[in-house]
């Protein structure tokens, strides 16, 4: 009876700037109880969505972290295919403010008049700003440290209803259960009023997913990552390449693990692997001593949140 709706992230691409064979640039599909969101949209994302058999018209919002090509070059193709396939429902794109101009010039130059409303929302480069709220999630920002403004996102589930106590549920008439879940007392006639607190348990804690796109080691993020069940953090390099990581404003796998450990998140998911690593196992090996509950993302991987 305390069944929870699935809350999952599907990693469509796990490569860095120049993806190695078999890897694709960054894109993730996030699904929570009927809400469907795309996070970053590297080249070929629409093909990756087709490959997993997902109808991309269901996506309501797209979140773009920054304007390096491996994180957004698939966007125009996806916008265009949605149009050609007859989309009518609105699409909202949250991203750096320049994105409106980048998309706008391409639509104008091709005299494309979209059949659906396209809303462009500028994302501030700051932490803790509420970007979007719908009936499923609240999305807030993370100010990452990269060569150009780069913003990460925290997706926090809306708190669910009160839960009926298993030992009392049978004393509540079925047609009154929703009212009790919403906090009402149970009135069983003039003589008997049962206070809500005797019938219910608090809602399950809301689950949360955090997406740390391209970033140098950024302990400033830690306060915003507390309580996160699953943290995706880029891990472009091994420790041997720490100088290169610093110079390009990326992280080593060990630095990703330090962030996960210090924020006490539930689980860490690594991605954005440099093409110099044919297998990402070397990155996992460096992260796990610092934060054991670490996994590698992979193309088409589905990861449960909470
Ligand atoms: Zn980048």
pLDDT tens digits, 121-159? 999 999 999 999 999 999 999 999 999 999 999 999 998
Domains and CATH numbers, the chain: 7-160+204-304 (3.60.15.10), 163-200 (no CATH)
Cβ 259 vs Cβ 235: under 8 Å: no
Cα 214 to averaged position of ligand 1 atoms, centre (Å) = 5
Q: Is pLDDT above 60 for 232?
A: yes
Cβ 67 vs Cβ 148: under 8 Å: yes
Cα 149 to averaged position of ligand 1 atoms, centre (Å) = 9
Cα 199 to averaged position of ligand 1 atoms, centre (Å) = 51
Cα 174 to averaged position of ligand 1 atoms, centre (Å) = 53
The secondary structure of the chain, three-state, reads CCCCCCEEEEEEECECCCCCCCCCCCEEEEEECCEEEEEEECCCHHHHHHHCCCCHHHCCEEECCCCCHHHHCCHHHHHHHHHHCCCCCCEEEEECCHHHHHHHHHHHHCCCCCCCCEEEEECCCCCCCEEEECCCEEEEEEECCCCCCCEEEEEEECCCCCEECCCCHHHCCHHHHHHHHCCCCEECCCCCEECHHHCEECCCCCCEEEEECCCCCCHHHHHHHCCCCEEEEECCECHHHHHHHHHHCCCEHHHHHHHHHHHCCCEEEEECECCCCCCCHHHHHHHCCCCCCEEECCCCEEEECC
Q: Is pLDDT above 90 for 199?
A: yes
| pLDDT for the residue numbered 161 | 87
| pLDDT for the residue numbered 1 | 42
Cα 125 to averaged position of ligand 1 atoms, centre (Å) = 14
In terms of pLDDT, which residue wins out, 131 or 4? 131
Cα 215 to averaged position of ligand 1 atoms, centre (Å) = 8
Q: How far apart are CA 253 and CA 273, in angstroms?
A: 9
Name the average pLDDT for the chain: 94
Phi and psi at 250, nearest 5°, equal -120, 180
| pLDDT for the residue numbered 16 | 87
Q: Is pLDDT above 80 for 2?
A: no
Crossing angle of helices 98-109 and 75-84, in 10° steps, is: 50
Core vs surface per residue 91-109: b (16+ CB within 10 A) or e: bbbbbbeebbeebeeebee
Q: Indicate the range of 3-7, 47-51, 193-197, 229-233 predicted with least confidence.
A: 3-7
Residues listed for the chain: 306
- 100-121 confidence digits (pLDDT tens): 999 999 999 999 999 999 999 9
| pLDDT for the residue numbered 3 | 65
Catalytic residues, which ones?
70
Cα 213 to averaged position of ligand 1 atoms, centre (Å) = 8
Q: Is pLDDT above 70 for 49?
A: yes
Cα 68 to averaged position of ligand 1 atoms, centre (Å) = 5
Per-residue pLDDT averaged across 200-207, rounded? 92
Cα 250 to averaged position of ligand 1 atoms, centre (Å) = 8
The answer, as to whether pTM is greater than 0.85, is yes
Q: With cut-offs at 50, 70 and 90, classify the pLDDT of residue 183.
A: very high
| pLDDT for the residue numbered 29 | 98
């Amino acid at each position: 009876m305390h069944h929870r709706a699935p809350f999952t992230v599907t990693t469509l691409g796990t490569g860095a700037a120049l993806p190695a064979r078999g890897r694709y640039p960054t894109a993730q599909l996030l699904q929570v109880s009927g809400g469907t969101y795309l996070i970053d949209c590297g080249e070929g994302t629409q093909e990756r969505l087709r490959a997993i058999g997902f109808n991309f018209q269901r996506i309501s919002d797209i979140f773009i972290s920054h304007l390096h090509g491996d994180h957004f070059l698939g966007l125009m193709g996806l916008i265009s295919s949605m149009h050609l396939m007859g989309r009518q429902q609105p699409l909202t794109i949250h991203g750096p403010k320049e994105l409106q101009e980048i998309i706008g010039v391409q639509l104008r130059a091709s005299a494309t008049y979209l059949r659906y409303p396209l809303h462009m929302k500028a994302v501030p480069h700051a932490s803790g700003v509420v970007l979007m709220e719908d009936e499923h999630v609240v999305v807030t920002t993370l100010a990452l440290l990269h060569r150009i403004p780069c913003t990460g996102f925290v997706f926090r589930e809306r708190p669910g209803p009160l839960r009926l106590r298993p030992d009392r549920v049978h004393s509540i008439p079925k047609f009154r259960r929703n009212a009790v879940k919403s906090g009402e007392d149970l009135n069983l006639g003039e003589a008997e009023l049962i206070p809500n607190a005797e019938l219910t348990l608090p809602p399950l804690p809301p689950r949360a997913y955090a997406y740390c796109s391209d970033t140098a080691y950024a302990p400033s993020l830690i306060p915003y990552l507390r309580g996160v069940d699953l943290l995706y953090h880029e891990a472009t390099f091994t420790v041997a390449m720490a100088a290169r990581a610093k110079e390009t404003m990326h992280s080593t796998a060990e630095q990703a693990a330090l962030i996960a450990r210090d924020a006490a998140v539930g689980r860490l998911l690594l991605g954005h692997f440099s093409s110099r690593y044919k297998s990402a196992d070397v990155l996992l090996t460096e992260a796990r001593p610092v934060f054991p509950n670490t996994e590698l993302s992979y193309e088409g991987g589905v990861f449960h949140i909470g």
